[in-house]
Structure 1
Amino acid sequence: MQRLYNSIPTALGVIGRDGRYLTVNTMYAAIYGTFPDAMVGRVVGELGSDAEPQWQGDLMRFDAGIGMIEREVSRAGGYYIQAVQPMQNAAGQVVGLTLALIDITARRQMEQALEKVSRHWQFRASHDHLTGLPNRRHIDQALLAESRRCARAGASLSVLMIDVDLFKKYNDHVGHQRGDACLRAIAAQLQAMVRRQGDVVGRYGGEEFIAILPNTAIGGAHGVAQDMLRAIQGLDIKHPASPYGCVTLSIGVASMNAAPMYSPGRVDELLGNADRALYAAKAAGRNTACGCPLPLAQSPRLWPDMAFAPCALPCGQ
């Protein structure tokens, strides 16, 4: 009988109600690197951490009248489709379980490889290749999502528009390779400074970065901007053409107050105000952060609910 069982080209096993193997064929035992005789009498829990709770659950289902169960399982480093059926006596009582394992390891490995490639290209499509930060496409999507969420929650949303001061002159003096290294160092420092859930720092293009700060009013955003100025100056990246002697930033700060409605136009105005504030910071001598001096609600016919607060703090280092 065992020879017949071994000749079947499928991994088969039988488990009693006590959770011990009654018999297995050669293919089943080979999955665990052993022989059929060595598996008989062993408890299913010895062969997989999830095997015992599955066996107990299957018994309960079969006692309730379910006919067959199929699932994907991991066993001994491989992946299998496991088909489980009840083994009944003449009175119809479930006295054990029969298991068949169909090897799908190659398929699962292929799926995992394809999933890894897919994740890689999804990351490449949404992140900047030089700095690893979210790119403009990702930032635009995140800003729209956060503006909707903040509108629903009645929370403020702030944006920092960040520019590396005199970066073209830096490249001209030290070369593009060191320029790339400079951008990577700045990106890493900026990313390390925004750790709250929902906060995002991205590369907006060239030497320009952007930070999205949900649940943050203008005062808090200005504080983050001041911390960024100090942190980048603290990197002490020498800049021969800068009046400060090192690489510095100019930052424009804008905030969208809590509002009951979402509108794409509000996001455009938020970015526009941050951009105007950035130019004000440059005009003020660079290495500084400025809040937008203009209220957003210049078009009450379109967006009567909007209110952007100017920065209460002056531009300054």
Structure 2
Amino acid sequence: MNNEKKRHDHHDEDARHLFELLHNNSDWVWEVDAQGRYTWSSDVVTELLGVPPEEVIGKTPFDFMPPGEAERVACAFGAIVTEKRAFSGLVNRNQRADGSIVVLETSGIPLFDEHGELRGYRGIDRNISNLGERVLQLETIYETTPVALCMIDREGRLVMFNKAMAKLLGDNAPLETERRFQQLIPDYWPFFLTDFALAESNEELPSRELGWRDRCYDIQSVPVRDAMDGVIGLSVTWVDITERRQAEHKLASANKVLQQYAQHDHLTGLFNRRYMDERLLNEIARALQDDFPLSVCLADIDYFKHYNDTQGHQAGDDCLRLVARTLTSARLRSSDNVSRYGGEEFLIILPGANLAQAMNVAEGVRNDISALKRPHSASPTGFLTISIGVATLQHGQLRFEEKPLHMIASGLIHRADTALYAAKKQGRNQVVSARDGHASTESTP
């Protein structure tokens, strides 16, 4: 009998001790039913919420929260109940009886009946008001920032993500029970495996530009480490740069158009003089370096001023375009360059062509223009013709190497111009070459 009484007394002592711990602990211990209504509460609730335990029984945690907070936490808790899982670290604001706010961190475990049905939760609330507001502010910033954010663990689970990330994923946004990143966007998972490996080696993680559903994102991963400095996950930012890339593409296209305008004559579509002067310097440098000849042909439409005066400027423009098309015919090689050098003058650069080859090209072009039989009443022939002067930088002319390129180019153009002047003086509609500064007729009509 004495032993039985001792056991009973010892049991009572343990129960009193347990209740003292529950009611005098800094943490609020509670139980709720499957609908979230309090069924038991420790006395600590009075310190936290300013109400005695009996006033919380039958109510839910959301009855003690501001409206907006109640909706947010109810949504999060509803997902937890649906999965019937334990939870921890659920930070929430609560309104005390005096109207002040206390920030609690809630954790709980599910309780099941003998049939395995969820009958409620048992848990604790801890006062974290000193840090809680800061935590909630950071959570709000994380959740509402327009930049998509997520955290991926080593197994590929999408541990957390904000609203912008959910919008990015769209229909692929995971449910609570389906958060494997490699299932959501499988093509990208290898990139994050590489990031994990780099993070383990303490190497810098590169940013990547990736596309998803017609959008372009700049993606940057940052390793998340535990207390032992082990990599447990990646925090990933997804910055939408679609508009930036589209703007850059438009700018590049605009620059290309501007470059076309800067390099081409607007009337004929040929290269302009500014571009051709630069091109000639490059071709001369290449000819001297590789020791091969270079020729230029300077062509001029005969009696063009009279053509403009009699036919009109519109006809003159059409004439210039016709000559330009003829000069760029299949007779010229792809490496040859043709430009409108000024007014009715055209320059042809012939890399690798010696004087004889250049004269043949020039004579062919002259014949092509004559063959057009374009009426020209001011010309003695009665149709459109051109005159051409040809000059050549001969193979082996190493003495030119001692001169600046611009002087070589200027001298070459001057010699071609002198030959062109000679062609004009000798009756036009002919090709004349320049040999060492002296013009000589190579071909006549």
Map Cα deviations across residues 119-176 of structure 1 (whole Å, 9 max, x no partner). Answer: 3333323322211222222121211222122112212111100111221122122211
3-state DSSP of counterpart to 2:174: helix
Match of 2:442 in 1: 314
Which of 259-268 and 34-43 deviates more? 34-43
Task: Give the aligned partner of residue 180 of structure 1.
Answer: 317
Q: Which residue of 2 aligns with 1:288?
A: 430
How much has 1:14 moved relative to structure 2?
A: 5.2
Shifted more, 280-289 versus 166-175: the winner is 280-289
Partner of 2:186: 44
Confirm or deny: 8 A CA contact 1:165 1:249 kept in the other structure.
Answer: yes
Percent of aligned pairs with the same residue?
36
> Does structure 1 conserve the Cα–Cα contact (< 8 Å) formed by 2:195 and 2:205?
no
**1:274 equivalent in alignment to 2:416:** yes
**Higher relative contact order at CA 8 Å, sep ≥6: structure 1 or structure 2?**
1
Which of 123, 148, 161 lines up with 2:298 in the alignment?
161
Matched to 1:196, the amino acid is S
1:119 matched to 2:228 = no
Q: Is the partner of 2:328 in helix, strand or coil?
A: helix
State how far apart, in whole Å, the 1-side matches of 2:229 and 2:170 are.
35
1:175-204: per-residue Cα shift (whole Å, max 9, x none)? 11111112122223323444433x321111
Q: Secondary structure at the match of 1:211?
A: strand
Alpha carbons 1:14, 1:23 under 8 Å: kept: yes
2:150, 2:236 within 8 Å by CA — same for their partners in 1?
Answer: yes
Partner of 2:352: 215
Structure 1 position 200 matched with structure 2 position 328? no
Whole-angstrom distance in 1 between the partners of 2:157 and 2:366: 67
CA deviation after TM superposition for structure 1 residue 19, in Å: 7.8
Partners in 1 of 2:383 and 2:157 — Cα distance? 72
Instruction: Give the distance between the partners of 1:249 and 1:16, measured in 2 at CA.
Output: 77
Aligned residue number for residue 283 of structure 2: 146
Residue of structure 2 equivalent to 1:302: none
> How far has the Cα of 1:212 moved from its partner?
1.3
Any unmatched runs of 5+ in structure 2?
1-72, 77-138
Cα RMSD after superposing both structures: 3.5
State the distance in 2 between where 1:20 and 1:232 align: 74
Q: In the alignment, is the contact (CA less than 8 A) between 1:134 and 1:203 conserved in 2?
A: yes
Provide the TM-score with structure 1 as the length reference.
Answer: 0.77
Cα gap change, 1:30 to 1:287, in 2 (>3 Å): farther
Per the TM alignment, residue 74 of structure 1 is displaced from its structure 2 partner at its CA by 4.4
SS in 1 for 2:164: helix
Specify the SS of the correspondent of 2:365: helix
SS in 2 for 1:203: strand
2:52 alignment counterpart: none
Inter-CA distance 9–267: structure 2 relative to 1 (3 Å threshold): closer
The DSSP-based 3-state class of the residue aligned with 2:300 is strand
Cα distance change on mapping 1:85 and 1:288 into 2, 3 Å: same
Q: Distance in 1 between matches of 2:156 and 2:372?
A: 63
- For 2:172 and 2:196, locate their aligned partners in 1 and report how far apart those are by CA, in whole Å: 26
- Partner SS, residue 427 of structure 2: coil
Larger Rg: 2
Provide the rounded CA distance (Å) in 2 between the counterparts of 1:207 and 1:291: 20
| CA deviation map 1:269-288 (0-9, x unaligned) | 21111112112222343332
| Contact kept in structure 2, 1:20 and 1:44, CA below 8 Å | no
